[in-house]
Amino acid sequence: MRKALFLLMTELSSRKWISRLAGKIAKASFSRRWIGTFVRLYGIDPLEAEKAVDEYASLNEFFTRRLAPGARPIDEHPEALVSPVDARIAGMGKIRDGLLINVKGQDYTVEELLNRSPRAVNYRGGFFFVLYLSPADYHRIHSPVAGKLVESEHIPGTVYPVHDFGMRHMRKILSRNERLVTYIRHELGEIAVVKIGAMNVNGIRYADGLSDRLERGGELAMFEFGSTVVLLTQTGTFEPREGLAEGHKVRMGERLGLLRKEL
């Protein structure tokens, strides 16, 4: 009964007009008065932000803040695949015959996640990370590799919450929610960066002045609230870092593993 009630409440609250309304409030100038409370509530280090807390014009501007120079060192190994975000690993593993297996108790196909893109065949035996950003996390998304942006696709969809309850009990949220997919070609293959929309995420947008030539750790996009990034590597091109596991926190620029020639 309790689960059914939670599912009903989640269904009723996951409407795009609610996310749009939340976005308007967060962008309004009066919302800046909540920034200090937000910082204290989530234990955010204000010294990591590019500007002082009282310099942000709205709560949304603080959500999408840049960090102070040097706050996130980028791993310097020439073959490193780095985390594109500050996040908790909500799932990771080998993609087996096109399946992302047991992501919070559910399996996903690469084809449905990538909206039946012809590029999906490149990832049927690759590796995946599901990276969950809480509202407290840094919200900008960076390129995990140096390479060329070869294609992007916006996929309309729902805005169900991507927290633990939603991922476990709502049907296949990652492939039903709105998504913005970026394909990046690097020296050893290709990766897909799938940015997942969610309840109260009032926008996923690319960084201003984005070039098709990307540096590892360079700005790629941003969420206007917390959400999830799914990172896919091409078959036979990636070796994960030892010791990483579901539940671990990672920071933008931290090495997730190494890109290799055909393994």
How large is the greatest C-alpha to C-alpha distance in the chain, in angstroms?
Answer: 54
Residue 55, CB-side half-sphere exposure with 13 Å CA sphere: 8
Q: What is the pLDDT of residues 109-163, one digit of tens each?
A: 999 999 999 999 999 999 999 999 988 899 999 999 999 999 999 999 887 877 7
One digit per residue, the tens of pLDDT, for the chain of length 263 reads: 444 433 333 443 444 545 555 657 667 888 889 899 989 998 999 999 999 999 999 988 998 899 999 999 999 999 999 999 999 999 999 999 999 988 988 999 999 999 999 999 999 999 999 999 988 899 999 999 999 999 999 999 887 877 777 778 788 889 988 899 999 999 999 999 999 987 554 578 899 999 999 999 999 999 876 689 999 999 999 999 999 999 999 999 999 999 987 65
Tell me how far apart the alpha carbons of residues 5 and 21 are, in angstroms, rounded to a whole number: 24
> Which residue in the list 31, 117, 175, 227 is annotated as catalytic?
227
pTM above 0.75, yes or no: yes
**Catalytic residue list contains 142:** yes
**Catalytic residue list contains 107:** no
Q: What is the pLDDT, as a whole number, of residue 73? A: 97
- Name residues whose C-beta falls within 8 Å of residue 140's C-beta, 6 or more positions apart in sequence: 64, 65, 66, 67, 85, 207, 219, 221, 222, 252
Tell me how far apart the alpha carbons of residues 126 and 120 are, in angstroms, rounded to a whole number: 10
What is 150-209 written as a DSSP string?
EEEEEE--B----SHHHHHHSTTHHHHB-EEEEEEEETTEEEEEEEEP-TT---EEEPTT
Q: Please report, for the chain, the start and end positions of each structural domain, with discontinuous segments joined by +.
A: 2-63, 80-259
| Assigned token pair, 79 | 């073959």
Q: What is the pLDDT, as a whole number, of residue 262? A: 65
**Catalytic residue list contains 97:** no
Q: What is the pLDDT, as a whole number, of residue 140? A: 94
> Which residue in the list 14, 19, 75, 142 is annotated as catalytic?
142
> Which residue in the list 86, 137, 143, 186 is annotated as catalytic?
86
Helices (H), 99-163: 110-113
